[in-house]
Amino acid sequence: MTRSFFARHPSVLVFIACLAFFTLLVTILSEGLGIGVISTSFVKTLGKTLCLCLVAIAMDLVWGYAGILSLGHMAFFGLGGYMIGMWLMYERTRDIVVTSLADVEIPPTPQEISDAIGNQIFGVVGSSDFPAVWAFAPSLPAQLALVVLVPGLLALVFGWLAFRSRVTGVYLSILTQAMTLALALYLFQNDSGLRGNNGLSGLQNLPGADTIPQSLISLWFLWGSALALGLGYLLLAWVVSGKFGSVIRGIRDDEARVRFLGYSVEGYKLFVFVLTAVIAGIAGALYYPQAGIINPAELAPIASVYLAVWVAIGGRGRLYGAVIGAAFVSLVSTWFTSGQVPPVDLGFYTINWVDWWQVVLGLSFVLVTIYAPKGIAGLFDLAAGRFPPRRHGAALGPDDGALREKEAEE
Amino acid sequence: MRYLRAALAGLILLAVPLVAQQAPESGTPVQDLLQTHADQIAKSSRRTIQPVIDALVASGLPQIETVLATWQAREIWQRESDGLFFAATETDNSLFELTDFDTGEPIGAFPRDGLAQVKPNSGVQGLIATALVQFQLNSPDPAQRRQALDSLARAPDATLLAPLRASIEPETDPDIRARKQRLATLLTIAHDSNEAARIAAIAEVSGDLSVDVRATLNPLLSTHRTFAAADAPLAGDQNVARTLVPGRDIPVTEAYALLVAAGDAPALVSEGAIREALAVNIAEGRVGGVPIAALSDPEARNRAYDALAAAGAVPPRVDTAERDASLAAHRFYDVYDEPSAALTDAAQQALGSIETRVGINQALDLGLDALSLASIYFLAAIGLAITFGVMGVINMAHGEFIMMGAYTGYVVQQVIPDYTVSILVALPLAFAVTFAAGVAMERLVIRHLYHRPLETLLATFGISIALQQIAKNIFGTQARPLTSPGWLDGAWVLNDVVSISYIRIAIFVLALIFLTLFLFIMRHTRLGLETRAVTQNPRMAASMGINPDRVNMLSFGLGSGIAGVAGVAIGLYAKVTSELGQDYIVQSFMTVVVGGVGNIWGTLLGATMIGSLQKGIEWLNPSNTLAAQTYMIVFIIIFIQFRPRGIIALRGRAAGD
């Protein structure tokens, strides 16, 4: 069975091989274990990019395969980050507090320790009590479970409400965007219990790992992210390969027909929505310890739009396209916004790329959407000599999310 | 008037012998009086000057008003050679023309060298001003009388009640007279010694909405917490507001703290105090027989502390049972600071009726607020009602068109300094700019993506990102002001509770105008007809000779142009930044979706609903506007479950399915 799966989908093997090679290469070139060509901060950037690739393939499943343009998956990503961030911040603060209280003549009671931690964490929002949402923060297994459960449950409730009342197409997109906005606004409040707009910080410091240099920790996270991406890719490739994949592609192109064939369209959509939300949460939980800080601005609706942009530029409807898009756009963005690109002097005006990159990105996205719906992945088709079917300009189906003629594969 | 003069004359007659005693031979009573207090006047301080002012006023001399006014204006100078005080005005060549207070006659010019200015500081000036009020109340100059009333209203003073009342009768100006009467009523409530008069005055202001009435009544009802032994009868003169049950009306710790503060119960030993006591009493690694390492347990700490207490090293702990017993042995009360029950009852009743009316008016005010927010949302969404509602095109750059309109207004104001003219120019110009932008976008992008709403959404998002960044590059990240013309400043004030600013009224009117415009264009113009035809069936419309391309282009431009005009209006009351549009885009789409796509009345209803919801939630939790927005969006998501097609759902073929 497994052999036939890989035989039928050689791209999966190629991808896994590329990923393994990339990870090995970075490890060899890193400061932590290798010859030190790549700085630790760049290793972190690469690790973060792998997490973005992971959330991008989740987005590709939900949009490219199931035709649901969700503008809320970066919210699930951020929630995953918040969940792991709570444990990281709690444990780290506890370490500090216990160390500082060790010199006191009378050993502290558990209550005193907890108060001191609360004071440290919530001092910035003028409080010192632990809100109810931090109930599980002391326990790593509980918070790891929450990384999966919180985005999963939110997606389940939201998806159930939305799909049940047959909200589709742009309405669903706007609704998911509203959900993201509501979540971000909620987290911006100081009394949400997650430190308001300060967010959670100091996440790059692993509790109990003070003696281990960041160069090594960054590699651990790189491996973890690569592993998660590899497993996620395998899982999603398997999900979209079988009958299940055919059904969700059918839902994408013509939902009504699939429903009339007797499939529970809502069930399939809900499954895809929740599964991808969970993957997004896991990706976030791996991303934010590498970023070091998370705040509500990360959940802003625009972040989810960028996610869609990556998938679209990479080429939706194929998993490797999403990976390429996310990696390419986010790395190029980092490069342009870091100010390393030399400015272009036009004589009358100097184009400073830090200021103009967003404009280029926005416009190139428009161009891709109109003229190259297959995105970067379309180049592979061009190389392989595969061409879209001739459908006289008609899309694959009547639904909003259906693949366009130019996007389709024969 | 005649009586007053007689009274005044009597006062003077009474006072003169008094003054005469101080300086029997002199014909200069004012100067003598000033000389009596010369030191305090020359070097005055707020703390010591009041008796001097009182003495001056009590002398009843007719010149005192001039003296006080001159003093307040820092125009009294002391002649250094003999220490006499004069009113001085500077003439040329730094010479000072001195005027004697008693005679009012100038006595000649003196050089500055031999004179010292009396400089009361602002605190002293304030006291002088209060003393002056009683003179000014009867001043022939209405402006002075008004000023006196202003200063009296700012600093109500019991001693001024009598002069104020006396001044009502001779008052000729009806306006000032009404003010005087009102102020006298308020002063009566606060300071009169006659209880019946106070109660009558309270009854008079019952139901009055003004802030100053409430400010006068509230101090009457101020209370303090106190307690008495449970078996002792209440002290007879105490005006009890209410009895407090510890644990229900008053936190147990607070009640106990009252007992402790009065010395009627031993203080609770806090956990911090226990820790400190333990730390002090460490002996050979143990405290009170408990090893130190065990002290991380609160129980062990208590045991150790009790052992110390038994040894007499520390005061004993008060346990919960003891605390409850002490509480049970006492009764707790809120007692009015005002001893008269009749008075507090009257004040309570008056405030009660005022509260009711304030509540009604606040609801009205909230309604106005909601209406104005609704008109802002409507204005932001009405362009979308055309592009999204009628044409079905998702334009995520709609917010950026609003922003472009606002920036157009800003640029016009840089060129045309007159605010009224610049607004009149900016409105059509903003329409033209965003109309052009809309047409360009439709031709370049949206035309390729009709029937692909998701791609349209993303492509227009790309444009929105680019436009935002371009605005940032041109105008910077800081907010740019778009100043409204002077006649839009200020607010329409109905009473102290209800008011609405003119800008909001203008926005409301603008929203109404656009609603009418939209209805007119859609129903009574060729463009409207063709737009509806193309929307419903483009092929059929084309075969009837309508050019769908042209119609789409024009109606998209129209929707965008309206967004630009909305931008000017929104920019007038919000700061213009590159993120201006982003703040409205989700709400605008929500407005259209909630209202029901394709129906302008739906958009209107949607805006009204969202505006009132947001204001309503804000009212429930005023400190937190973010929470209001959050809950509003959650509510909308749930609302869409029940009415997926909005408040006004299109039926039949027009619904598109």
Structure ipTM: 0.87
Distance to chain A for B408, nearest Cα, Å: 20
Residue A102 has pLDDT above 60, yes or no: yes
- Helical axes A73-101 vs A265-291, angle rounded to 10°: 40
Whole-number pLDDT of residue B402: 93
- To probe the interface with A, which of B455, B463, B592 has the most A CB atoms within 10 Å? B455
State which residues of chain B have pLDDT below 70. Answer: 1-26, 233-236, 623, 650-657
Residue B354 lies in a domain: no
Between chains, do A181 and B640 touch, taking CB under 8 Å as contact? no
Is there a single domain that holds both residue B544 and residue B422? yes
Whole-number pLDDT of residue A410: 57
Whole-number pLDDT of residue A144: 94
Whole-number pLDDT of residue B6: 54
User: How many residues comprise chain B?
Assistant: 657
Is there a single domain that holds both residue B195 and residue B229? no
- Domain range for A32 is 11-298
Q: Which residues contact A149 (CB under 8 A, 6 or more apart)?
A: none
Q: Which residues of B touch A400 (CB under 8 A)?
A: 452-454
Strand pairing class (B76-79; B85-90):
antiparallel
Residue B346 lies in a domain: no
The secondary structure of residue A108, as a DSSP letter, is P
Closest partner CB to A185 (pick from B282, B465, B626): B626
Is there a single domain that holds both residue B516 and residue B645? yes
CA distance A173 to A214: 40
Query: Can you give the C-alpha Rg of chain A in angstroms?
Result: 23
Query: Can you give the C-alpha Rg of chain B in angstroms?
Result: 38
Residue A303 lies in a domain: no
User: What stretch of H or E contains B367?
Assistant: helix B341-384
Residue A407 lies in a domain: no
CA dist B167 to A21, B50, B184, Å?
98, 24, 10
Q: Which residues of B touch A355 (CB under 8 A)?
A: 469, 472-473
Between chains, do A105 and B296 touch, taking CB under 8 Å as contact? no
Q: Which residues of B touch A171 (CB under 8 A)?
A: 593, 640, 644
The secondary structure of residue B385, as a DSSP letter, is I
User: Hey, which bits of B378-489 come out as E strands?
Assistant: none
Whole-number pLDDT of residue B230: 76
CB A222 within 8 A of CB A240: no
What are A305's two structure tokens?
A: 């739009």
Q: Position of tokens 């407090």?
A: B244
Indicate the pTM of the whole model. Answer: 0.80
CB A109 within 8 A of CB B301: yes
The chain A residue lying nearest B593, using CA atoms, is A171
- Domain range for B184 is 142-220
Residue B349 lies in a domain: no
Is there a single domain that holds both residue B173 and residue B119? no
Whole-number pLDDT of residue B234: 67
Between chains, do A170 and B453 touch, taking CB under 8 Å as contact? yes
Q: What is the pLDDT of residues B564-616, one digit of tens each?
A: 999 998 888 888 998 888 878 878 888 888 888 778 888 899 999 988 888 88
Is there a single domain that holds both residue B279 and residue B170? no
Residue B321 lies in a domain: yes
Between chains, do A109 and B301 touch, taking CB under 8 Å as contact? yes
Is there a single domain that holds both residue B81 and residue B100? yes
Residue A191 lies in a domain: yes
Between chains, do B454 and A373 touch, taking CB under 8 Å as contact? no
Whole-number pLDDT of residue B17: 46
Q: Which residues of A touch B279 (CB under 8 A)?
A: 104-106
Average confidence score pLDDT of chain A: 88
Between chains, do A174 and B278 touch, taking CB under 8 Å as contact? no
B232: region left, alpha or beta (phi > 0 left; psi from -120 to 50 alpha): beta
Residue type (1 letter), B10: G
Distance to chain A for B184, nearest Cα, Å: 46
Q: Which residues of B touch A175 (CB under 8 A)?
A: 637, 640
Whole-number pLDDT of residue B656: 46
Whole-number pLDDT of residue B16: 46
Residue A341 lies in a domain: no
Closest partner CB to A69 (pick from B457, B593, B640): B457
Between chains, do A181 and B301 touch, taking CB under 8 Å as contact? no
Residue A218 lies in a domain: yes
Q: How many domains does chain B have?
A: 4
Between chains, do B462 and A165 touch, taking CB under 8 Å as contact? no
Residue A396 lies in a domain: no
Between chains, do A169 and B445 touch, taking CB under 8 Å as contact? no
CB B391 within 8 A of CB B555: yes
Q: How many domains does chain A have?
A: 1
Residue A77 has pLDDT above 90, yes or no: yes
Residue B481 lies in a domain: yes
What are A159's two structure tokens?
A: 């998806």
Whole-number pLDDT of residue B95: 79
CA dist B600 to B389, B424, B560, Å?
8, 26, 16
Closest partner CB to B292 (pick from A107, A111, A364): A107
Q: Which residues of A touch B466 (CB under 8 A)?
A: 358-359, 361-363, 366
Other beta carbons less than 10 A from residue B195's beta carbon: 12
Where is the domain boundary, B220, B245, B280?
A: B220
Q: Which residues of A touch B449 (CB under 8 A)?
A: 369-370
User: Hey, which bits of A291-351 come out as E strands?
Assistant: 293-294, 344-345, 350-351
Distance to chain B for A363, nearest Cα, Å: 6
CB A279 within 8 A of CB A211: no
- To probe the interface with B, which of A174, A176, A313, A374 has the most B CB atoms within 10 Å? A174
CATH number of B530's domain: 1.10.3470
Is there a single domain that holds both residue B240 and residue B296? yes
Is there a single domain that holds both residue B206 and residue B125? no
User: What stretch of H or E contains B182?
Assistant: helix B174-191
Q: What angle do CA B362, B368, B374 make, to 5 degrees?
A: 135
The chain B residue lying nearest A167, using CA atoms, is B644
Distance to chain B for A231, nearest Cα, Å: 29
Residue A153 lies in a domain: yes
Is there a single domain that holds both residue B94 and residue B153? no
Between chains, do B624 and A305 touch, taking CB under 8 Å as contact? no
Residue B443 lies in a domain: yes
Between chains, do B298 and A109 touch, taking CB under 8 Å as contact? yes
Residue A56 has pLDDT above 90, yes or no: yes
Where is the domain boundary, B220, B242, B261?
A: B220
Residue A79 lies in a domain: yes
Is there a single domain that holds both residue B229 and residue B211? no
Between chains, do A106 and B295 touch, taking CB under 8 Å as contact? yes
**Of B302, B268, B276, nearest in space to B288 by CA:** B302
